[in-house]
């Protein structure tokens, strides 16, 4: 099968298009014939070696941690899915392997694909929807009536988080710029602050929840805006313990967790059209270097997806 692998860390020139045998499944895994797979910011963090301390993967390995396709083989110890099922996958970081025509994935790292959307759109969902769900529902424990600020609301995770928070009845504020401001207004967000024009920290206070999808100075300026007892969840770095104590708030860095059936409620919202999935930008797997470069240089207007035959 066709796959894109790396044999060493580095810039995009380390990505190699190769022909390799189909992966062999373990008893707790299924084999998925991928129809589409997605590129995420974490891909270039792994490719560059930035995460090599936490993620000690042996070379060579196939890139990619998200996709959608059809199950062609099921392991002896699996019982949730059958051959022919249409699914979305998010293999754990040690496994990965979705920059390829087939991937072996643990059964609990699969979600059923909503029938209402194509594989190309479905391939963008596990990471974005899964992260938005894990941060908001599990970690921030959001409640109706709360006021939430979402940094990076225009991105893949952000747009899912905005929609989940709105459906849960929160007052939702987001930071974004350019065309993404209108996109967020179309999704029903209550207020957008253009981060390129306005300093959000002079505009807001008394927030119940901040979801930080940006990090750095954006996170540093956020602590003072949360009311006592509130919470900051970041996907990019652990919040500062001293700042959390100073403002009497809680906080953590989320690592997205997959679990069988966990996302059923939000997947149903996609099925019913209550959550809109943005059209991705399509690349061929043979152009993986260009695709990852577009994500790394923030040149893509939406999520980047490889469409497979």
Cα–Cα distance for residue pair 119/229, rounded to 1 Å? 41
Please count the residues of the chain. Answer: 309
Could you give the C-alpha distances from 25 to 75, 95, 247, in angstroms and in order?
7, 12, 49
Q: How many residues contact ligand NAP, by CB under 6 A?
A: 27
Binders of ligand NAP among residues 42 to 101 (CB under 6 A) are: 42
- Of 23 and 154, nearer to ligand NAP (C-beta) is 154
Answer for the pair 114, 267: CB distance below 8 angstroms, yes or no.
Answer: yes
- Of 98 and 175, nearer to ligand NAP (C-beta) is 175
Q: Map residues 121-140 to x or -, x wherever contact with ligand NAP holds by CB under 6 A.
A: ------xx--x---------
Q: Where do we find the tokens 């007892």? A: 229
Residue 256 touching ligand NAP (CB under 6 A): yes
CB of 174 to ligand NAP, least distance (A): 8
Answer for the pair 256, 127: CB distance below 8 angstroms, yes or no.
Answer: yes
- Residue 297's contacts (CB-CB under 8 Å, 6 or more residues apart) are none
Binders of ligand NAP among residues 212 to 231 (CB under 6 A) are: 213-214, 218
Cα–Cα distance for residue pair 131/157, rounded to 1 Å? 7
Phi and psi for 252 in degrees, rounded to 5? -160, 165
Binders of ligand NAP among residues 141 to 170 (CB under 6 A) are: 151-152, 154-158
- Of 78 and 135, nearer to ligand NAP (C-beta) is 135
Residue 278 touching ligand NAP (CB under 6 A): no
CB of 196 to ligand NAP, least distance (A): 8
Is the peptide bond preceding residue 162 cis, with omega within 30 degrees of 0? no
Q: What residue ranges bind ligand NAP (CB under 6 A)? A: 40-42, 127-128, 131, 151-152, 154-158, 175-177, 180, 195, 213-214, 218, 235-236, 254-256, 298
């Amino acid at each position: 099968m066709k796959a894109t692998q790396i044999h060493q860390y580095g810039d995009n020139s380390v990505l190699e298009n190769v022909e390799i045998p189909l992966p062999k499944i373990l008893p707790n895994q299924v084999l998925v014939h991928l129809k589409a797979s997605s590129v995420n910011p974490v891909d270039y963090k792994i490719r560059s070696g930035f995460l090599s301390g936490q993620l000690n993967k042996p070379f060579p390995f196939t890139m990619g941690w998200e996709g959608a396709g059809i199950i062609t083989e099921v392991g002896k110890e699996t019982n949730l899915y059958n051959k022919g099922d249409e699914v979305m996958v998010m293999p754990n970081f040690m496994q990965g392997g979705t920059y390829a025509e087939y991937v072996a994935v643990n059964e609990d790292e699969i979600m059923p694909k909503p029938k209402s959307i194509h594989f190309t759109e479905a391939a963008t969902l596990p990471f974005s929807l899964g992260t938005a769900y894990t941060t908001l529902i599990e970690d921030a424990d959001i409640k109706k009536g709360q006021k939430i600020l979402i940094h990076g609301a225009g991105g893949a995770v952000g747009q899912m988080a905005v929609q989940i928070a709105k459906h849960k009845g929160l007052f939702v504020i987001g930071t974004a710029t350019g065309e993404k401001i209108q996109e967020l207004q179309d999704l029903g967000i209550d207020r957008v602050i253009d981060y390129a024009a306005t300093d959000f920290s002079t505009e807001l206070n008394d927030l119940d929840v901040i979801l930080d999808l940006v990090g750095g100075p954006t996170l540093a300026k956020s602590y003072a805006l949360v009311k006592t007892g509130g919470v900051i969840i970041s996907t990019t770095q652990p919040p500062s313990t001293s700042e959390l104590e100073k403002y009497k708030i809680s906080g953590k860095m989320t690592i997205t967790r997959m679990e069988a059936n966990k996302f059923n409620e939000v997947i149903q919202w996609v099925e019913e059209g209550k959550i809109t999935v943005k059209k991705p930008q399509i690349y061929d797997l043979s152009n993986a270097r260009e695709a990852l470069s577009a994500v790394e240089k923030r040149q893509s207007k939406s999520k980047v997806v490889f469409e497979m035959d």
